[in-house]
């Protein structure tokens, strides 16, 4: 097992572009890679470009008729078939859509293959984490579900237990749906409450299909306004115990940065410092509970494309590369110049929001009248007994 980490990157992923008025601006990807380079992290990880996923790989999750529809919309965006979720407000069709989407999927699949083969202990694809795409349709800015494809490829290779932890502000519905009946995959999603936010799923009662899949999905639906202390308390009250019990052979995590208080599309109030803490916690869980520390870390949502996303995912790369960045470090001026050149905005000056994060352990007790604790209790009571754990 190599102790090195992989960073999946191909400049062509920035062609995943829904247009200038769409919130998922590919500049967030370019700026993240620029910040990775500004900190010299490409010297601490192996930067690798993988080929696009072919149809046989895409079919591990997606229907062929849907793949054909994406390819047709890619060739002629004006003829996109909205019955497949294409050409909609959320997922406008664009020239080259199939190629760009398959390229992102290929990076995540290759990351999973490399980690399972022992070529690296960790692999990061911050361009991935497109967790809303369904087998037969695009949804929520996502065309191909690279996270589900990476997991499906691991299962194809013989992996028997994969844990998927999703801390995006939106429920990881597409990944949950892909493995709803499969006890080999444990999906855990922490997200803003579905009553408040797209996609309207991720209720605690969603615990997997009756039968062998029961208990394979865990959903922690957080109240709007949850900040650092509550978010970290919720994560640590649910995720480590499940991972310790499941003992996955590979850990796949999705690190959407849209939990941040500056994100324009959601209502949590999490800081960059708390996001970094959860990234580090996922890294620690891989080392503690996964043989060979096999960890695949993905990006996801995040629409504060200058101030938040590049800093959050650069921290993720540093953690995976065992070269964590000092949050108090001054961001290199070369990157801030790049920000201004690309966006005409001023970039942030440091790798921190200035928060000192802490949380109260669940083991210290809970308040049944507290809304955050109610959310944690709901998740634990719904899923933990199905896994033989005390709620």
Phi then psi for 255, rounded to 5 degrees? -120, 55
Q: What is the CA radius of gyration of the chain?
A: 19
- The catalytically annotated residue of 132, 193, 255, 315 is 132
Q: CB-based burial of residue 96 (10 Å sphere; 0-12 exposed, 13-18 middle, 19+ buried)?
A: middle
Tell me 360's DSSP state. -
From the list 390, 100, 376, the residue with the least C-alpha distance to 238 is: 376
Please say whether the beta carbons of 120 and 2 come within 8 A.
Answer: yes
Residue 132 falls in the annotated catalytic set: yes
Measure Cα distances from 102 to 35, 59, 74, 387 in Å: 25, 12, 11, 35
Q: Both ends of the chain: CA-CA distance in Å?
A: 36
Which of 24, 37, 29 has the alpha carbon at shortest distance from 13? Answer: 29
The token duo for 277 is 């803490």
Vertex 386, ends 391 and 289: CA angle to 5°?
A: 80
Chain CA centroid to CA 273, Å? 17
DSSP annotation of 252: E
- Based on DSSP, count helices (H) and strands (E) in the chain, helices before strands: 11, 8
DSSP 62-102: S-HHHHHHHHHHHH-GGG--GGGTTTSSSS---TTHHHHHH
Residue with tokens 């029961």: 214
Compute the distance between CA of residue 14 and CA of residue 374 in angstroms, rounded to an integer: 41
Cis peptide before 199 (omega within 30 of 0): yes
- Tokens standing for residue 171: 């429920």
User: Taking a C-beta distance cutoff of 8 angstroms, is the pair 350, 374 a contact?
Assistant: no
- For residues 18 and 84, what is the distance between their CA atoms, to the nearest angstrom? 16
- Positions annotated as catalytic residues are 132
């Amino acid at each position: 097992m190599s102790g090195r980490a992989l960073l999946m990157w191909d400049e062509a992923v920035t062609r995943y572009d829904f247009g200038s008025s769409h919130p998922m601006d590919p500049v967030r990807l370019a700026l993240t890679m620029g910040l990775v380079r500004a900190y010299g992290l490409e010297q601490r990880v192996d930067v690798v470009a993988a080929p696009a996923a072919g149809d046989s790989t895409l079919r591990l999750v997606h229907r062929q008729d849907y793949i054909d529809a994406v390819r047709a919309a890619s060739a002629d965006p004006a003829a996109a078939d909205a019955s497949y979720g294409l050409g909609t407000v959320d997922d406008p069709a664009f020239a080259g859509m199939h190629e760009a989407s398959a390229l992102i999927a290929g990076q995540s699949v290759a990351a999973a293959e490399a980690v399972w083969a022992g070529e690296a202990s960790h692999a990061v694809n911050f361009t991935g984490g497109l967790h809303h795409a369904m087998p037969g349709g695009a949804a929520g800015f996502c065309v191909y579900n690279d996270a589900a494809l990476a997991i499906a490829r691991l299962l194809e290779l013989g992996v028997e237990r994969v844990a998927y932890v999703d801390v995006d502000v939106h429920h990881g519905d597409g990944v949950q749906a892909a493995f709803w009946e499969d006890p080999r995959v444990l999906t855990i999603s922490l997200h803003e409450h579905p009553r408040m936010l797209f996609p309207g799923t991720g209720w605690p009662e969603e615990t997997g299909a009756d039968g062998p899949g029961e208990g394979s999905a865990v959903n922690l639906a957080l109240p709007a306004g949850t900040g650092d202390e509550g978010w970290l308390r919720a994560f640590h009250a649910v995720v480590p115990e499940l991972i310790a019990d499941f003992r996955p052979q590979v850990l796949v995590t999705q690190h959407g940065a849209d939990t941040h208080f500056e994100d324009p599309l959601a209502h949590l109030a999490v800081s960059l410092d708390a996001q970094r803490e959860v990234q580090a916690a996922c890294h620690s869980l891989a080392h503690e509970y996964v043989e060979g520390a096999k960890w695949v870390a993905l990006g996801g949502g995040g629409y504060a494309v200058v101030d938040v996303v590049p800093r959050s995912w650069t921290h993720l790369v540093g953690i995976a590369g065992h070269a964590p960045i000092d949050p108090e470090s001054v961001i290199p001026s070369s990157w801030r110049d790049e920000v201004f050149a690309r966006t005409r905005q001023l970039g942030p000056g440091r790798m921190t929001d200035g928060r000192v994060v802490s949380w109260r352990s669940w083991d210290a007790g809970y308040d049944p009248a507290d809304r955050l604790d109610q959310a944690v209790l709901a998740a634990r009571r719904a899923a933990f007994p199905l896994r033989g754990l005390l709620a």
